[in-house]
């Protein structure tokens, strides 16, 4: 009987729950192990190149030359001491190919000819073809390797009375157009840039981001309005610039004007969405 009682006592000891403090310590140990494993996995993914979109949003640029393959945006030239915020605060070293504020001249670019007067080649990649006129273009995508936008034969996307070509996303062969961000860099740092954007009317706001002196300009620096060349009348009598390309949904034409007293360094046109959508650029005016 004594032996049986001892066996029952041992069984109860084995099945008795450990003290509360011990259970807490064990839980903390498990959480620590899981946390260390999670940190190790995250570090491994980042070292392999994984990034969230907000991790790789282009840094505030200042134009120098078109970015090479997958390079970060070029460093910008700081404003002149008299123009810089705070009366000449220390800034990054200027690029050797970036001009002073408003160093260019008024230019109008229709993307029908290159800066040297040659007709553009339809559906071709471009980058520095209009540098002499004050703009260098590039393309950034998180899913494609292309780094240059294309000049498209865009008659399938433009109004009937528009010109033939426009700047847009790169072609992806038979798969259509890539989706991403078009960058317009301005080495001459003009104070005013105006252009027309074409895109689906389904998109309430075409996302336009402008940079000046390494800082992102506020929304108040941009003005969006219907392009009067393509104005149509709605039943209500209000003017709009919507149109319907053949076989496509409703599009609209917006005239966008950006002003910056310290000069416009870069304008980024983001078609990522969601939803991702096409954007076309035409009638670019650069006014120092």
pLDDT, tens digit, 9 for 90 and up, residues 27-55: 777 777 777 776 666 565 555 444 444 33
Nearest to 249 by CA among 283, 198, 174: 198
Q: What is the pLDDT of residues 234-286, one digit of tens each?
A: 655 677 899 999 878 999 999 999 999 999 999 999 998 778 899 999 999 99
Contact 194, 255 (CB under 8 A): yes
DSSP 60: -
Largest CA distance in the chain: 111
Q: Can you tell me the mean pLDDT for 112-116? A: 96
Instruction: Tell me the pTM.
Output: 0.66
The pLDDT score that the predictor gives to residue 250 is: 95
Q: Which tokens is 200 given?
A: 């689906």
Q: How far is CA 152 from the centre of its chain?
A: 20
The pLDDT score that the predictor gives to residue 46 is: 52
């Amino acid at each position: 009987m004594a032996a049986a009682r001892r066996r029952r006592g041992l069984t109860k000891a084995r099945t008795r729950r450990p003290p509360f403090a011990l259970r807490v310590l064990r839980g903390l140990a498990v959480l620590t192990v899981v946390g260390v494993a999670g940190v190790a996995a995250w570090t491994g993914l980042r070292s392999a190149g994984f990034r969230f979109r907000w991790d790789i949003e282009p840094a505030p640029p200042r134009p120098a030359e078109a970015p090479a393959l997958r390079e970060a945006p070029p460093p910008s030239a700081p404003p002149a001491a008299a123009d810089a915020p705070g009366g000449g605060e220390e800034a990054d070293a200027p690029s050797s190919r970036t001009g002073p504020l408003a160093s260019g001249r008024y230019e109008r670019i229709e993307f029908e000819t290159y800066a040297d007067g040659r007709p553009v080649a339809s559906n071709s990649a471009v980058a520095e073809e209009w540098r002499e006129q004050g703009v260098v273009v590039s393309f950034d995508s998180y899913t494609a390797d292309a780094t240059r936008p294309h000049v498209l034969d865009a008659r399938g996307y433009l109004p009937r009375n528009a010109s033939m070509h426009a700047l847009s996303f790169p072609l992806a062969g038979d798969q259509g157009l890539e989706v991403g961000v078009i960058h317009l860099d301005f080495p001459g740092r003009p104070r005013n840039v105006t252009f027309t954007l074409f895109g689906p009317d389904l998109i309430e706001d075409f996302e336009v981001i402008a940079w000046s002196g390494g800082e992102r300009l506020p929304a108040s620096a941009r003005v969006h309005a219907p392009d009067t060349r393509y104005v149509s009348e709605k039943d209500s009598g209000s003017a709009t610039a919507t149109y319907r390309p053949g076989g496509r949904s409703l599009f609209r034409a917006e005239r966008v004007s950006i002003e910056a007293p310290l000069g416009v360094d870069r304008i980024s046109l983001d078609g990522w969405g969601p939803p991702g959508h096409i954007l076309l650029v035409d009638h670019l005016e650069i006014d120092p």
